[in-house]
Structure formats: structure tokens, C-alpha cells
Amino acid sequence: MDYFVGLDVSLRSVALCIVDARGKVCMERELPCEVDDIADCLDTFEHSVERIGFEAGALSQHLFFGLQDKGFDIVCMEARQVSAALSAMRNKTDKTDAKGIAQILRTGWFSPVHMKSREAHGLRALLSTRKALLKKTMDLANEVRGLLKIFGVRLPRTVKHGSFDGLVRPMIEMDEVLAHAVVPLLDARVVLFQHYLELDRRVKNAASQDAVCMRMMTVPGVGPIAALTFKAAVDDPKRFKRSRTVAAHFGLTPRRYQSGEHDNPGRISKAGDQNVRATLYAAANALLMRTMAGSQIKSWGMRLMRTKGRRRAVVAVARKLAVLLHRMWIDGTEFRQEQMGAQA
């Protein structure tokens, strides 16, 4: 008889439940959230387990690769599907959630989540840190602007990040009270901005040394950040059977509501990685509004902009870019000006 293990994972503990092929509960435990503790507990079970399942979360990578190295068959399940199934249960506790996950695993009513490689997670961490440092730098600059307004000092609407410190310091050096309040913010901002520049250099170097990213960067509007973000998010292009499904995976396709005589397409689903979606949107906007080179995809987007509006046109071009970048990755080809988008 087959046995299935459900894990409800939290930061410091994990609820474990084992059910058999008929759905009968065979074991329930509360354990520390460590690979060795989970493996030791399963080793004490009198039968071998068929599969271990848990929903996607922050500790997914750690548990997935750790338990896989111990010889277990692991599956990481899509969190939205698991949440929808568990919402039908009367009580919500870690114990009942683990039981519910085990039952979902037994019935097969789940979508497995691709577990990204360690290399992809490293790139995503680098990109996330770069983005966080830029945001904090901008937050401190806005804080300085707010303080200066109180004293009647108004900065130009647009100031380059590298020029901000040199512009503000001469304005406040004659006012001791203002200097005592603002200088610490400027000093902190300078440090953050220097770290941001270092990470930005590393990200661009990583993109320039990657053959896949260099091919993606032949597409107008796609720079090193967009290329590296897309590559790290997809990780393995072969996990998508068709290039069109990549756009849906990142939430760039419309939702559909069909019931009886009603069949209404809605707004884009916004499923999947928000950072990838935002990056593709920015690349599409750059392609339409900033690039000078002509291409079929730009001509198509401009026609769409005149009939549907700017926002819809940019979303549509972002959707095309997702399909196009994946097809270029699979085929090993570079962008051609007459290239409209993959149909595979």
C-alpha cells in the first residue's frame, strides 16, 4: 500500500501527517523545521512513503533539496490550489492543514511547482537586493526633500541619483539646525547608493557574460536587468511545452469567466512573479516609447496603442515579449527586426 506525507511548514516548526492510499491517517507529528528531524521521523515509520508534499513558500528550496538528498520523492504544490482546497475544511490548524495537504497529495489534485536551481535563486537574490537598495536610496532622498520643504528649500523636480548629494550639501551647510537633521540622511544615502552601484555592476556583468542573456538583449527595449530577471525566473525553458504558456505563467493573459451563455474575458490574471511582470512591462514600454529602431512588434504595438490605448498596448507587447524571449531561448536565435513573436 502507498503512503503519502503532507507537511505544513512554518518558520520554526512543521506539522507532519501520513495517510495511506485509502486516506486513513497513520501518523501525525509536530517537528522542528529541519531536514534531519523530518527525515529521522520518516525513518521510524514502519512503511516506506510514496511521496512527500508541501505548498510553495519561503522554505521550499531548503526542504525540497534537503529531503531529495535524503532519497525521498518530493513535490512542491502551488499555494493557491492548496489554499483553495484547505478553505473547505471546518477548522484551520497546522495539524489539520498537514492532513489536508496529505489528502491532496494522495488524490493528485494539485499542480506541481517547478523548483528553481540554486543558480537561479542566486541571481534572483542579487536582483532583489539591487532593487531593495535602489528603493531605500530613493526613500531617503524623498525624506530629505520633505525636510527641506519645511525650511523653504525646494529642489528641482528631477535630480540624478549621483548628483543628489552634491546638490543638497551646499544648500544646508550654512544652517546648523538643518545640517544636523539632514546630513545623517545624506551620509546613509551615499553608503546605500555606493552599494547599489556595486550590485548594479555585478548584475550587468553577469548578463554580459551569459550567452542566453546576450541573445535576449538583441530585442529592442530588453536590457541586462530584464534579460537576467526573465532568465532567472524561467530557469529551465523546457518546462514550458509551448512558448505561449510563458505569458500566462507570469500573469500577462486575460482571465476568462464562462458560464452558460456568458463568456467574458477580464483583466490580466496577474498570476506568477510580480517582478518579472513589471520588468516585462517596463521593457515593452521602452520598446514602444524610447527605442528608435523599427520592428514589426513595435509597429504592431503602436497600431494597438492608437485603437486600444497606451496601457493595453504596453501589456500586449509585454505578453509578446515573454513569448518571444522564450522562443529565442529554445531556438538559440537572435532577434530579427521583422520578427513578430513566436507562435509555438
Mean pLDDT by 10 residues, the chain (344 residues): 95 96 95 96 94 94 95 94 90 94 94 92 95 97 94 91 94 89 96 97 96 95 96 95 94 80 77 93 94 86 94 95 96 79 50
- The pLDDT assigned to 269 comes to 87
CB 28 within 8 A of CB 13: no
Residues 313 and 289 in one domain: yes
Helix or strand run (H / E) with residue 100: helix 94-107
Q: What is the rounded distance in angstroms from the CA atom of residue 323 to the CA atom of residue 246? A: 6
Domain that holds residue 80: 3-107
In this structure, are strands 51-55 and 3-9 parallel, antiparallel, or unpaired? parallel
Q: Which of 156, 186, 208 finishes a domain?
A: 208
Q: Which of 107, 141, 176 finishes a domain?
A: 107
Residues 217 and 234 in one domain: yes
**Residue 294: CB atoms within 10 Å:** 12
Nearest to 8 by CA among 35, 26, 31: 31
Residues 90 and 151 in one domain: no
Dihedral of alpha carbons 7, 10, 11, 14, sign: negative
Residues 196 and 240 in one domain: no
Residue 342 lies in a domain: no
Residues 203 and 223 in one domain: no
- The pLDDT assigned to 67 comes to 96
- The pLDDT assigned to 42 comes to 95
Q: DSSP 3-state assignment of 212?
A: helix
* Residue carrying the nine cell digits 502551488: 78
Nearest to 85 by CA among 145, 4, 196, 8: 8
Q: Give the CATH number of the domain where residue 54 resides.
A: 3.30.420.40
- The pLDDT assigned to 341 comes to 52
Q: Record the cell numbers describing residue 261, joined without a space.
A: 451563455
Residues 291 and 261 in one domain: yes
CA dihedral 145, 147, 149, 152 (to 10 degrees): -130
Residues 100 and 199 in one domain: no
In this structure, are strands 13-20 and 3-9 parallel, antiparallel, or unpaired? antiparallel
Instruction: Name residue 32's beta-bridge partners.
Output: 13
- The pLDDT assigned to 338 comes to 64
- Residue length, the chain? 344
- The pLDDT assigned to 170 comes to 92
Residues 138 and 81 in one domain: no
Instruction: Name residue 75's beta-bridge partners.
Output: 53
Q: DSSP 3-state assignment of 288?
A: helix
Residues 195 and 216 in one domain: no
Structural domains counted in the chain: 3
CB 315 within 8 A of CB 281: yes
- The pLDDT assigned to 105 comes to 96
